[in-house]
Amino acid sequence: MKILFLDHSGVLGGAELSLLDIARYHRDHCLVGLMAEGPFKTLLEQERVPVQVLTNQSIAVQRDSSLWQSFSNLRQLFPLIVKIAQLSRDYDVICTNTQKSMVIGAIANLISRRPLVHYLRDILSADHFSQANLRIVVTIANVCATKVITNSKATQAAFVAAGGRAELTEVIYNGFLPERFKTSPTQTTQLRQQLGLEGRFVVGNFSRLSPWKGQHVLLEALTHCPNNVVALLVGDALFGEQEYVDRLHQQVAELGLHDRVKFLGFRADVSELMSACDLVAHTSTSPEPFGRVIVEAMLCQRPIVATAAGGVLELIESNLTGWLVPANDAVKLAHVINECQIHPEAAAAIAQRAYQHASQAFHLDGTCQKFAQLLASLVIEDLSPYDKLSNGAKIL
């Protein structure tokens, strides 16, 4: 079975890292088609996954675009659509990994007519998408997709609530290899020394710097913690969010936290940095589709506190494998931080339970096997998505 994966992005986000894990498993019989140059292409090449950049033209459709803007910009992408249609004829199935790639792949598939599988990794809601784009994405999925895989039950529920057909969906959680997250105590000690963290209680936040990722909540929480509690912010702005980064630096200055917050930017040594933390804090202010950072922290055997919304509720059992706090609640977040500092043995026990849970429930082998079985069944059936129109496919 030959798979054509499509992703519009050249940067490394959670969706791209999740695609990498699956594409690595299928590297001998797949191609990852990207619609932009960037570090994602470099990483795929390092992992010996076949990759091709299909266009250097920017895809101008944004999440808040109007209906007219969306269709106008798609017309400019006609050469790309034709190219994908021709390329896909050499593959058994097309698997799209982002909303933009799904729309473009679906249009291309009007020509090539291969089973189209969309891996939905976003909460489809007005918090993140314009009504016009929601309508476009859901309608195209309803009509053109053979199957919509979601990375959590929360993502699945949001798709259905937005008008998506429930019978199209299947939940397959992101997968991880536990051995990739092992770090020696010597490495951890050396890294803490390099960062000047000796004698500090370190809270790590691992995410791109974005308003809805809520780093400002963690900064506010620090004001309710002892002075030896410090925060590592690992990540940087993407998608034109530099203004938020400037606001975070201003917040640090206004709160007098200049010696308690380190902005580390994007780092390749995420597992090592997690292992150097005493606690990992996930602070999203809107429901998270899945929450890769949460499972990664568990596999690094670090205690995790996270916002109680979206797919996070499927990952953590509060007070057993981590802690859940309300969104935007800096005081309750600070309470968990302080409790972990006061009771390190209890925190370590929770982290160990979380490690055992994550190693079994989110192992990459299981994810890849489910994915491969699903695609194989679709290819055998060779369902034509365009027959759905005569079978009552829902168009919004």
CA 376 to chain centre: 25
Token readout for 99 is: 């909303």
Q: Taking the domains of the chain in order of start, what are their residue ranges?
A: 3-175+364-391, 178-361
Query: Could you read off the pLDDT of 23-52 as tens digits, one per residue?
Result: 999 999 999 999 999 999 999 999 999 999
Round to whole Å and give the CA distance between 116 and 93.
6
Round to whole Å and give the CA distance between 217 and 242.
18
Round to whole Å and give the CA distance between 211 and 239.
12
Please report where in the chains the tokens 């292409």 appear, as a residue.
41
Q: Say whether 178-361 and 3-175+364-391 share the same fold.
A: yes
Mean pLDDT of 117-131: 91
- What's the one-letter identity of residue 70? S
Fold of 178-361: Rossmann fold (3.40.50)
Token readout for 177 is: 């290899």
Q: Are 70 and 136 in contact (CB under 8 A)?
A: yes
pTM exceeds 0.85, yes or no: yes
Residue 396 has pLDDT above 70, yes or no: no
Query: Could you read off the pLDDT of 343-381 as tens digits, one per residue?
Result: 999 999 999 999 999 999 999 999 999 999 999 998 876
Round to whole Å and give the CA distance between 362 and 380.
27
Q: Does domain 3-175+364-391 bear CATH number 3.40.50.2000? A: yes
What mean pLDDT, rounded, does the chain reach? 91
Kindly state the DSSP code that residue 175 receives in the 8-state scheme.
-
Kindly state the DSSP code that residue 388 receives in the 8-state scheme.
G
Mean pLDDT of 316-340: 98
